[in-house]
Amino acid sequence: MARSRSTRRLVVGDHTYLWSVGHVHKGGKQPDVTACLETLSLRLDGSSGRLLLTFYQPPAIGPTSTIGDRDRGWLNLHEPGVARAFLDAALAQGWQPGAKSGQEVDGWTLFPEALRACRTKSDGGAGFQR
């Protein structure tokens, strides 16, 4: 069982990326709500390869695709600034957006860098503490 919003555009310099957020319950017809995950899908417009970031529990998944934990902070995957922070983190880790094949990555490995980027934005960033 999966839920997803429509694909959105993110313009970075001369490049346009497409991104979407999803929520998946494992278990088919009998979904296990304790085994859910959030996804952030990124791809370069016109490219067939995509980057799928998966966020399995733990550390924590909150309501409406909010991920994080009490100690470090929280990010809402539906915010464009958060999608951009994960895009920048993935590019810094060597993701090749023009690749023909897709790649799945544990999104928690990019979380610290994305959170840091959101917090250092001049407008206060999208990351927040509870």
Alpha-carbon distance values, 123 to 29, 67, 73, 116 (Å): 44, 20, 17, 13
Q: Where are the alpha helices (DSSP H) in 1-130?
A: 80-92, 111-120
The rounded percent of the chain whose pLDDT value lies above 70 is: 78
List the structure tokens of 55: 């966020």
List helix spans (H) across 26-128: 80-92, 111-120
pLDDT band at 84 (very low <50, low <70, confident <90, very high): very high
d(CA 70, CA 129): 7
Q: How sure is the predictor about 4, in pLDDT bands with cuts at 50, 70 and 90? A: very low
Helix, strand, or coil (residue 79): coil
108-124 per-position pLDDT tens digit: 999 999 999 999 874 44
pLDDT given at position 75 = 93
For residue 52, the cross-strand partners are 41, 104
User: What pTM, to 2 d.p., does this model score?
Assistant: 0.83
Mean pLDDT value across residues 5-12: 89
Token pair 């991104």: residue: 19
Confidence at residue 8, expressed as pLDDT on a 0 to 100 scale: 96
Place of tokens 């970075």: 12
